Structure 1
Amino acid sequence: MPLPGNITIIGEEQGQIEGSCETDGREGTIQVLKFDHCVEIPTSNDGITAGRRVHRPFTISKETDKSTPMLFQALCTGELLSEVIMDWYRIDGTGEQELYYTIKLYNALISKVRPWVPDILDQSKSAYRHMEDVSFTYEKIIWTWEPDGIEFEDAWGEMA
């Protein structure tokens, strides 16, 4: 089973949008329980590329926590987020957690906050709490494979 990710959000107006994570070394970050993102190149019906790459919103799912009002503030005021940094951890060969993958967004905006509660009568959902999905759009993204320092960056407005 994957470990939760942790996200740090730095706003131009609010500064760091602090989350409720209390894990050693990750205090104040926002714990990410689910993540979805897509970069794609449109294709025609015959499989030929039909345009430039498209960066879809970067969406996380998290528990409602102390960052929630600040995320709504950033959404409603259009606050520019200078950095959004998501760190992913895994268990290494010694049984310890290690940072192995990082995604950084630059000049991001929150495009959607969607609070939700699972069906409380469905016992398979009993571990869920009050949740929310937060979607970001961004100017630039950097993907980094931490063990080897391999990275790639893309800015959606630039030609590939």
Structure 2
Amino acid sequence: MPMPCYLSLEGEQQGKISGSCSVQGHEGKILVQAVDHLVEMPRNPQTGFPSGKRQHLGLTITKEIDESSPKLQQALCAGETMKNVELEFYRITPKGTEEKYYTIKLQEAVLVRTRTWVPNCLETENRPLTHMEDVGFSYEKIVWTWVPKGIEAEDSWTTPK
């Protein structure tokens, strides 16, 4: 069963952008319900060989509208660079405790899109949902970390590979 993620943000102009999370140990973070991130390597369909440079197609989160929402809109409209973007992934261990096991950090990130949406209230399967928004980030550099063993990978679209 998936668990929510937690997002920490700090903008160059606005400073820390707090969310409304009240979960113990994650107070003030932005509670993230879904993450969509895509990196592609174009390939020739006949040969399988690379046909271009890898493409980072952005990272999008889905969250409930909360106290961070106006600041996120301001950051988007002003083109504010984020000094810190850290997305923390948690899971439940066999002992029943919460464990941070994966992180994604973005450097030189900017918001590139927001989308506010309300699920169809007439559909019964949407009853657990509330007013939502999608927030899309573009970035210069990304760092992925497998926390339990400190395994790290990074990529910068400005650095040739």
Residues 47-71 of structure 1, C-alpha deviations (whole Å, 9 max, x = no match): 3311010001100000000000000
Residue aligning to 1:71: 72
- Give TM-score, length-normalised by structure 1: 0.98
Residue aligning to 1:4: 4
CA RMSD of aligned residues (A): 0.7
Within-5 A mapping of 1:115-130: 115-130=116-131
Tell me the CA shift for residue 80 of structure 1: 0.5
Tell me the CA shift for residue 159 of structure 1: 0.8
Q: Output the amino acid matched with 1:142.
A: V
Other structure's SS at 1:71 match = helix
Residue aligning to 1:143: 144
Q: Output the amino acid matched with 1:124.
A: E
Other structure's SS at 2:125 match = helix
Tell me the CA shift for residue 83 of structure 1: 1.4
Other structure's SS at 2:73 match = helix
Residue aligning to 2:24: 24
Within-5 A mapping of 1:74-113: 74-113=75-114
Q: C-alpha separation between the residues in 1 aligned to 2:86 and 2:70?
A: 19
Residue aligning to 1:58: 59
Other structure's SS at 2:149 match = coil
Q: C-alpha separation between the residues in 1 aligned to 2:56 and 2:31?
A: 23
Q: C-alpha separation between the residues in 2 aligned to 1:154 and 1:82?
A: 17
Q: C-alpha separation between the residues in 1 aligned to 2:45 and 2:89?
A: 36
Q: C-alpha separation between the residues in 1 aligned to 2:98 and 2:28?
A: 18
Q: What residue ranges of structure 2 are gaps of 5+ in the alignment?
A: none
Q: C-alpha separation between the residues in 1 aligned to 2:30 and 2:8?
A: 7
Q: C-alpha separation between the residues in 2 aligned to 1:12 and 1:67?
A: 15
Establish whether residue 43 from structure 1 lines up as the match of residue 38 from structure 2: no
Tell me the CA shift for residue 93 of structure 1: 1.9
Residue aligning to 1:157: 158
Provide the aligned length of Structure 1 versus Structure 2. Answer: 160
- Give TM-score, length-normalised by structure 2: 0.97
Q: What residue ranges of structure 1 are gaps of 5+ in the alignment?
A: none
Q: Output the amino acid matched with 2:133.
A: E
